[in-house]
Amino acid sequence: MPGAVLLEFGTDWCGYCQAFEQRLRGLLEEYPQVQLLQIEDGPGRPLGRSFRVKLWPNLVFLRDGRLVKQLARPEDMAEMREGLEAISGV
């Protein structure tokens, strides 16, 4: 996909994912050019395996289809901001 894309791997029943959701939504308001794609992950899901996803939530920052950064179960808002800035060109 062209442009700035953030893949968020997780599940609806994951407590970490649920707690993380509000923080991510708030941060994404500052980066309207970033397209968020939420991907339900789990055993046998090939897309998550292709990115070596083992912990949720897992963020994959892509710019024009190329991997720029990946974070597993991020807690540091600064790390997430760095990823968003790197893909959005800010």
pTM of the model: 0.93
Ordered domains of the chain (ranges, CATH): 4-88 (3.40.30.10)
pLDDT digits over 4-59, tens only?
999 999 999 999 999 999 899 999 999 999 999 999 998 888 899 889 999 999 99
pLDDT digits over 74-83, tens only?
988 999 999 9
Give the count of alpha carbons within 13 A of 27, CB side only. Answer: 20
